Amino acid sequence: MLGAVAALTGCATVYQATPAEQAALIHDDRFQPVRDVIDPDQVMAITPQMREFIRTRVPRNSGITDIRDARNQLLDALYTHGELQLEYDAEETRTAAQAFDAKAGNCLSLAMMTAVFARELGLPVTFRQIYDEEQWSRVGDLQVVSGHVNIALGRRQTDYRVLGDEGASLVVDFLPGAKISTQRAIPLEERTIVAMYMNNRAAELMSQAQLDRAYWWARAAWLHEPRLLASLNTLGVIYRRHGDTALAERAFRAVLQHEPANQQAMSNLAQALRFSGNVAEARQWEEKLAQIQPYPPFKFYDMGILAMKAGDYAKARELFAKEIDRSAYYHEFHFWMAMANLGLGRWDDVRTELTKAEEFSTTAKQRQLYTAKLDTLRAKMLRAKTVVQ
């Protein structure tokens, strides 16, 4: 069963779910208790090790005079060779402290960690959700739509300034291939960011079939910020996978009550209705969804895979190109574009697409895989040139 869950979808105002809403949508009795410590206060907590890092790496924080912008000092400490050297890794969403310890994280984890350091330095921080920048991916049979978050660092009132250089906020983005200059952003509150973290953990655990743990994380995310509808959608998918179809339908309908055009909730509700035998209503939602989204995510990709299996590499290349046109930074699309080019003998294009797949990969394992494939390709091309000579 394909379900769609969303990560990093933001909201602005603090809101508490009513007792009636909680009674309708929260069902602890269906799930086993877990040992996970789910504490919102720990998501962006600073550790003694983090404080020591900042104290020793950022001169101004050590009381040493330095006319450089404190923001640049911080970024140098985090990313300069020989310092912390953070890496982008979307294998698991980490707390700020976990990202520091692992020296890696996804865009949300790295944004939270950088924000914690910035606040320790007295720098103003604004979390930013990038408007209309969604990325679909697949984890097993689960479709995941991820938004994107970065941060803007302001200046301290005490920072040294060159006359006439007030300087706008410095935007820091951790996503490979991000184009900051063209981004449209919506400011987010820290409360929303914390709920996003918990919702991401729920989605990750669900993809590993750990439904009990996933439930408690999604529950915590929604109760922490009920207007983060992504977490309510995640709850619905968890209920559906747990066999509680009626509860799943209720959750998806609650999302659609607030956002009538929410595509993930529509798709998930239609699936739940079909499973429960309500085919007529399922068709109604599917028709409505088709009007909003005539070509669902992965439609061209799936057709391209079928073309590859049929040996029609030219058609596959055309279809993968269509998928890349609407989702340019998903590594798997570029990998299969490389495979289609391989079938056509377009060696330079194979290398180009594999390089992009490596660049846009979101985990260390993916990068290692694509690096190995690139090395193998280069060796084959070198041998071919040697034979020709």
**372-389 pLDDT tens trace:** 888 887 777 666 555 444
How, if at all, do strands 3-7 and 142-146 pair? parallel
**Cross-strand pairs, 143:** 4, 138
Yes or no: say if 174 and 203 are a contact pair by the CB < 8 Å rule: no
- Say how far apart CA 253 and CA 374 lie, in whole Å: 46
**Single-letter code of the amino acid located at 261:** A
Task: Tell me the domains of the chain and their CATH numbers.
Answer: 17-229 (3.10.620), 299-388 (1.25.40.10)
pLDDT (0 to 100) of residue 129: 85
Low pLDDT (below 50) residues in the chain:
1, 7-14, 61-67, 160-166, 387-389
Phi/psi of residue 176, each to 5°? Answer: -60, 130
pLDDT (0 to 100) of residue 90: 75
**Cross-strand pairs, 145:** 6, 136
- Say how far apart CA 248 and CA 242 lie, in whole Å: 9
pLDDT (0 to 100) of residue 3: 59
Cα-only R_g, the chain:
23
- Spell out the SS3 assignment of 45-89: CCCHHHHHHHHHHCHHHHCCCCCCCHHHHHHHHHHCCCCCCCEEC
From edge to edge, which strands make up the β-sheet containing 170-172?
170-172, 149-153, 125-130, 185-188
Q: Please identify which residue in the block is written with the tokens 């987010």.
A: 188
